């Protein structure tokens, strides 16, 4: 499997090539979309992108964990976590990419 990472620059370059905006406008557009998504998640809203997946924030309750090295019980504070659930289409595309 490849070790390539898709970056903001890659996304803005794709917008530049596909849409025809200038490089600066493409970078601003990508930044604005990511900022809008982030702000929505911080506000507790779901971000659903059709045929891609759903990002959501989940509240996790406080619990007692265990240090695997020492076996000592350690309290874990309540926190908010970001989750991503891929769409069925995305799951199928990824699975098909693993074949051959």
The model's pLDDT over 36-95, given as tens digits with 9 standing for 90+, comes to: 999 999 999 999 999 999 999 999 999 999 999 999 999 999 999 999 999 999 999 999
Looking at the domain 6-62+75-94, which fold is it?
Answer: HU Protein; Chain A (4.10.520)
Q: Where are the alpha helices (DSSP H) in 1-100?
A: 8-19, 23-42, 88-97
Please state the domain extents for the chain.
6-62+75-94
Look at the block and give the residue holding tokens 């350690």: 74
List the Cα angle 50/8/95 in 5-degree steps.
45
- C-alpha distances out from residue 78 to 55, 70, 73, 83, Å: 20, 23, 16, 16
pTM of the model: 0.77
62 membership: H or E segment, kind and range: none
């Amino acid at each position: 499997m490849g070790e390539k990472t898709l970056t903001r620059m890659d996304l803005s370059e794709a917008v530049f090539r596909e849409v025809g905006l200038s490089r600066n406008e493409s970078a601003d557009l990508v930044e604005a979309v990511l900022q809008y998504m982030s702000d929505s998640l911080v506000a507790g809203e779901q971000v659903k992108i059709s045929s891609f997946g759903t990002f959501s924030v989940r509240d996790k309750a406080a619990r007692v964990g265990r240090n695997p090295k020492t076996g000592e019980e350690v309290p874990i504070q309540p926190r908010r976590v970001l989750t991503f659930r891929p769409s069925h289409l995305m799951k199928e595309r990824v699975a098909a990419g693993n074949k051959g």
